[in-house]
Amino acid sequence: MTKYFGTDGVRGEVGKSPVTPSEILHLGWAAGRVLGARHARGRVLIGKDTRISGYLLESALEAGLSAAGVDIALTGPLPTPGIAYLTRQTGACGGIVISASHNPYHDNGIKFFSAEGRKLDDATEAAIESLMNEELATVAPEALGKAERLIDAVPRYAEHCRNTIPPGLRLEGLKIALDCANGAAYQVAPLVLRELGAEVVTTGVEPDGFNINRDSGSTVPGAVSRLVCRTGADIGIAFDGDADRVILVDANGDLVDGDGILYLLSQERQTHESSSGVVGTQMTNLGVEIACVQSGIPFVRANVGDRYVLEELLARDWTLGGEPSGHILCLERSTTGDGLVAALAVLEVMVGTQRKLSELVAGLTIFPQQMINVRIGQDLSPGILQNEQVQRVVRECERELADKGRVVLRPSGTEPVIRVMVEGSCEDAVGRMTSKIASTVEKVGSGNRP
């Protein structure tokens, strides 16, 4: 763990370290020094979601980048993957997104993209982090960075999204219930779907700076499910605050999460081409893996986090991967997880096959899965995972599950908890084993506290 960077950039409660104006100003300067060093006169794009604190942090980043001698282009509210796309498309030396994703409004964070539109690698993050310990030194006045508004950011990203599906494909006849979580997709997602001919009914498209993710979006799919049932929509689409995640709902109001989307897209590809393979994570349901194996599709698991899914895809030269939370990567369409692009890929399958969403995921068997978060001291994580008592109870449960289940223990990358997950064919047994392992972890953690 570094002081500033977590599993997905820098994140925290606004006004508390590391999300304070002075630290974000310094972060902008450090990022400008590192990213700008790769270009004679670099330019960095800054986008954001709809949090009230976005104005504050945008100004701090702008000042820091200017002090480093880097020009700035401001896009205003735009999905995180939109910044990734425009960074690459405009030839910028980097992209920055001000967002805390699915968190409530009082949190915020900073995500970075390289000139290629990909999450920064560990070495680049480390280089930025190291400069946070240095005194901020402003370049000469004539070398200060300039700022401008990228006024056509929304239509340019919208065009990119439309171009990810085949030319001429239309969505006429489809009624779509859309929940934008009062977040970054509130403008562009309805625009794209309506331009493609769909009838769109919306919720979560009236951001006020405070209501992002509140009772809506991909983490509260009940909102879009109710909208589907109330309006008779064919499908529901729900994004998180920065729209890099998507969760779907079928016409019956039933949830189709990232596992269902991954299954649907992998199986559809297999019908008309040999799939190169699929990357899931430790949390991907066993049913997805079994379905891939049965269809002859190679399947591997990466660590939790879309950056690790991406690393695995690039290493294997594959294109499809994702997480249950709705991070879906289709690298032939986008360089990073993109909720709107993934939703369009599913709509493309629905139109092409003339089948309902429920029919397309009917072949996926979801194994019962339960997770308990055990709160501990941050510095205790490695010792608890290696503790003999914990390992012994894990081995006992794994023997009982045999090849029809899994046990996953992992420390959270964002809070001091151990996540205990058990998956198997029997829901009662899964619950019993999860509780047994979690209580052992909690007991060992309590005993090891100073």
Instruction: Choose among 215, 133, 135: nearest CA to 181.
Output: 215
How far is CA 44 from each of CA 39, 184, 188, rounded to the nearest angstrom?
11, 19, 22
Rounded to an integer, what distance in angstroms lies between the CA atom of residue 416 and that of residue 412?
7
| Same domain assignment for residues 303 and 203 | no
Q: Tell me, yes or no, whether 228 lies in a domain.
A: yes
Beta-carbon count within 10 A of 300 CB? 18
CB of 193 closer than 8 Å to CB of 176: yes
Q: Tell me, yes or no, whether 347 lies in a domain.
A: no
CB of 71 closer than 8 Å to CB of 41: yes
**Exposed/middle/buried for residue 415 (C-beta within 10 Å: 0-12, 13-18, 19+):** exposed
CB of 321 closer than 8 Å to CB of 329: yes
Sheet with 299-302, strands from edge to edge, namely 299-302, 278-281, 320-322, 328-330
Sequence-ordered list of residues with C-beta below 8 angstroms from that of 90, at least 6 positions apart, any chain = 43, 45, 73, 150
Q: Tell me, yes or no, whether 2 lies in a domain.
A: no
Q: Tell me, yes or no, whether 42 lies in a domain.
A: yes
How far is CA 226 from each of CA 119, 235, 253, 342, 373, rounded to the nearest angstrom?
35, 11, 7, 22, 29
Q: Which of 120, 151, 182 is at the close of a domain?
A: 151
| Same domain assignment for residues 298 and 317 | yes
Phi, psi of 274 (to 5 degrees): -75, 115
| Same domain assignment for residues 294 and 165 | no
- Residue 110 belongs to what domain range? 10-151
Phi, psi of 326 (to 5 degrees): 110, 5
| Same domain assignment for residues 69 and 140 | yes
Q: Tell me, yes or no, whether 5 lies in a domain.
A: no
| Same domain assignment for residues 260 and 246 | no
| Same domain assignment for residues 141 and 191 | no
Q: Which of 151, 169, 191 is at the close of a domain?
A: 151
Instruction: Choose among 210, 193, 209: nearest CA to 201.
Output: 193
| Same domain assignment for residues 273 and 398 | no
- In tens digits, the chain (450 residues) has pLDDT values of 468 888 788 999 999 999 999 999 999 999 999 998 876 668 999 999 999 999 999 999 999 999 999 999 999 999 999 999 999 999 999 999 999 999 999 999 999 999 999 999 889 999 999 999 999 999 999 999 999 999 999 999 999 999 999 999 999 999 999 999 999 999 999 999 999 999 999 999 999 999 999 999 999 999 999 999 999 999 999 999 999 999 999 999 999 999 999 999 999 987 666 568 999 999 999 999 999 999 999 999 999 888 899 999 999 999 999 999 999 999 999 999 999 999 999 999 999 999 999 999 999 999 999 999 998 876 666 788 889 999 999 999 999 998 889 999 988 766 788 999 999 999 999 999 999 999 999 998 886 544
Q: Tell me, yes or no, whether 409 lies in a domain.
A: yes
Q: Tell me, yes or no, whether 4 lies in a domain.
A: no
Beta-carbon count within 10 A of 214 CB? 16
What pTM did the predictor assign? 0.92
| Same domain assignment for residues 225 and 322 | no
| Same domain assignment for residues 43 and 145 | yes
| Same domain assignment for residues 99 and 211 | no
CB of 318 closer than 8 Å to CB of 279: yes
CATH classification at residue 50: 3.40.120.10
Q: Tell me, yes or no, whether 376 lies in a domain.
A: yes
Phi, psi of 152 (to 5 degrees): -105, 25
Q: Which of 333, 360, 387 is at the close of a domain?
A: 360
| Same domain assignment for residues 182 and 142 | no
- Residues classed as catalytic: 101
Rounded to an integer, what distance in angstroms lies between the CA atom of residue 280 and that of residue 285?
9
Number of domains in the chain: 4
Sequence-ordered list of residues with C-beta below 8 angstroms from that of 142, at least 6 positions apart, any chain = none
CA triple 247-251-216, angle to 5 deg: 40
Rounded to an integer, what distance in angstroms lies between the CA atom of residue 241 and that of residue 101?
5
Q: What is the tally of helices (H) and strands (E) in the chain?
A: 15, 18
| Same domain assignment for residues 29 and 127 | yes
Rounded to an integer, what distance in angstroms lies between the CA atom of residue 320 and that of residue 425?
26
